[in-house]
Amino acid sequence: MQPKPLRFIISGGGTGGHIFPAVAIANELRRRLPDAEILFVGANGRMEMTRVPEAGYKIVGLDITGLQRRLTPKNLLFPVRVFRSVRMAGKLIQEFRPDAVVGVGGYASAPVLLAATSRAIPSLIQEQNSYAGLVNKLLAKRVSKICVAYDGMEKFFPKAKLVLTGNPVRTEIAHGNRAEALAFFGLNPDKPVLLVIGGSLGARTLNQATAAALPRLREAGVQLLWQTGKLYFPEARQQTAAYAADGLHALEFIQRMDLAYAAADVVVSRAGALSVSELCLTGKASILVPSPNVAEDHQTKNALALVGKGAAVLITDEHAPTRLYDETLRLLADPQRQQQLSQRVRELAKPDATTTIVDELLGLIKN
């Protein structure tokens, strides 16, 4: 008799930092178990509802939002939404009957993990950041395993459940070909290339500082790949129109990140967990500008994990308007320092993170 295909639910989202690791886990499950059935659960209105289907997976949305930091009518509805979402998650689990559930953080992971653990379904949390998210901290005692990307996470989670895996990253991003990348973006192989990425939703401070620096970049002979995010793109396209012949390009979203990293000599980036893991894997010299608009300032903690090992440069969001491009142009003009940062950041990479997480997940089912 043929064994039944295994079934998995992967829950969470909200930002690319949650979604892309979730998709990487799903891809590894599909690679090992081609017959496995995989269902994503996200939050209605969030970016996972489009990004996950684009990656080839089915997703169901829950009607849940986070708590607002100030008193709003939405906060009054929060308990009602949580109750409804837990009830809907329970119904989903009863119908889909998963063999295991993964939570990657974000609004939707809480009701799904609550419903799964109350039914004794093996459950695993994947925490991307060096400072644990609220949902993951609350659910840590209920789940079977917690896969983390940084040392010292026992201050947030039960030590016996921790596995240091690193973050699941699309490993193909480390295999871009530089010659192909330069041709793809229409860049000159004799000039340095700066890549600016503000995360999947864009970053106002990086965008404003980059717009102001366009004349300086042209004067220094630097080429630019500038991922702006959707909201800022129309303005950035106008701002770079006069500089296109000099290789200064604004892009709303970069699908081929493997080629963007391959082309870049230096990267300016926010310090989301996914971005930091990608920089380690690609071995890129980087200047990190942590977002101040995240819970518990966890991007600064992510950045300091690299800076403390001499693997990146840190500029605060507050100082970015005045200091970011002074530092960036200094680094672009110093290949020896680029090489030093590149070597040190590469030492922090964990290229087997996704396979280790899937090993842990399948081990829970086996046991």
Q: What's residue 13's pLDDT?
A: 84
Lowest mean pLDDT among 32-41, 257-266, 295-304: 295-304
Is the pLDDT confidence value at 160 over 60? yes
Q: Is 274 annotated as a binding residue?
A: yes
Q: Is 16 annotated as a binding residue?
A: yes
Task: Check residue 267 and give left, alpha or beta (phi > 0: left; psi -120 to 50: alpha).
Answer: beta
- Summarised one tens digit per residue, pLDDT across range 184-240 is 999 999 999 999 998 666 689 999 999 999 999 999 999 999 999 989 999 999 999
pLDDT classification of 313: cutoffs 50, 70, 90? very high
Alpha carbon separation from 106 to 42, 62, 128, 147, 289 (Å, rounded) = 8, 12, 11, 16, 22
Q: What are 42's two structure tokens? A: 């996200």
Closest CA to 192 of 184, 182, 183: 182
3-state SS record for the chain: CCCCCCEEEEECCCCHHHHHHHHHHHHHHHHHCCCCEEEEEEECCCCHHHHHHHCCCEEEEECCCCCCCCCCHHHHHHHHHHHHHHHHHHHHHHHHCCCEEEECCCCCHHHHHHHHHCCCCCEEEEECCCCCCHHHHHHCCCCCEEEECCCCHHHCCCHHHEEECCCCCCHHHHHCCHHHHHHHHCCCCCCCEEEEECCCCCCHHHHHHHHHHHHHHHHCCCEEEEECCCCCHHHHHHHHHHHHHHCEEEECCCCCHHHHHHHCCEEEECCCHHHHHHHHHHCCEEEECCCCCCHHHHHHHHHHHHHCCCCCEECCCCCHHHHHHHHHHHHHCCHHHHHHHHHHHHCCCCCCHHHHHHHHHHHHHHC
CA distances from 247 to 32, 72, 226, 268, 293 (A): 42, 46, 11, 17, 31
Query: What does the pLDDT average to over 158-168?
Result: 95
Question: Which stretch of 27-41, 129-143, 227-241 has the lowest confidence by average pLDDT?
Answer: 129-143
pLDDT-based confidence at residue 67 (cuts at 50, 70, 90): very low
Sheet strands side by side (includes 248-251) = 248-251, 223-227, 193-197, 266-269, 285-288, 313-314
- Counting every residue written for the chain, the total comes to 367
Share of the chain above pLDDT 70, in %: 94
pLDDT value of position 200 = 60
Q: How many CB atoms lie within 10 A of CB 211?
A: 17
Question: Binding site annotation covers 162?
Answer: no
Q: Where is average pLDDT lowest: 13-17, 147-151, 335-339?
A: 13-17
The pLDDT of residue 29 is 97
Per-residue model confidence as pLDDT tens digits over 75-106:
445 566 677 888 999 999 999 999 999 999 88
pTM of the model: 0.84
Is 69 annotated in a binding site? The answer is no
pLDDT at 286 > cutoff 60: yes
Higher-scoring residue by pLDDT: 364, 133 = 364
Domain 172-346 has CATH 3.40.50.2000: yes
Question: Is 328's pLDDT higher than 90?
Answer: yes
7-167+351-366 classified as CATH 3.40.50.2000 = yes
pLDDT of 360 reads: 97
Residue-level pLDDT at 365: 95
Q: How high is the pLDDT of residue 76?
A: 47
273 is an annotated ligand-binding site residue: yes
pLDDT score of 74: 55
Ranges of each domain in the chain: 7-167+351-366, 172-346
**pLDDT, position 73:** 55
Least confident of 60-74, 241-255, 269-283: 60-74
Q: Is 59 marked as a binding-site residue?
A: no
What is the overall mean pLDDT for the chain? 91
Is 299 part of any known ligand binding site? yes
Considering only CA atoms, which of 259, 260, 319 is closest in space to residue 287?
319
282 is in an annotated binding site: no
Question: Do 7-167+351-366 and 172-346 come out as alike in CATH topology?
Answer: yes
How many CA atoms within 13 Å lie on the side-chain side of 20?
21
Question: Is 200 annotated to bind ligand?
Answer: yes
pLDDT of residue 69: 46
What mean pLDDT comes out for the span 37-57? 93
